[in-house]
Amino acid sequence: MTEKIIYLDGNDPVNIYGVKNKHLDKIKGFFPKLKIVARGNELKVIGKEEEIIDFELKINILVNAARLYKIDPENALERTNQKFIKRFAFLEDKASKLGKLLKDMSLDEMDKIWEEAKRIE
């Protein structure tokens, strides 16, 4: 097993401020063979060296693409949060109009309403 702290372009540590555990879990889901831990503003990755190299390459590609298109990570996260808030409000409103509570709805029912919220955005 190899342990490595991931840095971008060999200089900049991977900035993960604002990344919640659920987001980190999603990242981990894409790399199930690696152990990925957030430490401050760094990602600590443990696993086989070739898998860590693959992970590092993909992270660098994503971050560099964001830089190329001048995507500010903080603004991107805020826009994503606002989309979620609007969609969730739509879901709650629609459930209320149907006379239902979210806790009583199936995931399939909620997913259909969620997809509707995405379509009308």
pTM of the model as a whole: 0.50
pLDDT at position 5 is 61
How far, in Å, CA of 16 to CA of 96, rounded?
37
Residues 42-86 have pLDDT tens digits of 677 888 888 888 888 887 787 778 778 888 766 777 787 888 899
Residues 79-109 have pLDDT tens digits of 878 888 999 999 999 999 999 999 999 999 9
pLDDT bin (cut points 50, 70, 90) of residue 2 is: low
Q: Which CATH architecture has domain 2-70?
A: 2-Layer Sandwich (3.30)
Q: How is the chain split into domains, by residue range?
A: 2-70, 75-120
Based on the number of CB atoms within 10 Å of its own CB, is 28 exposed (0-12), middle (13-18) or buried (19 or more)?
A: middle
pLDDT at position 55 is 85
* Geometric angle at alpha carbon 26, from 76 and 19, rounded to 5°: 45
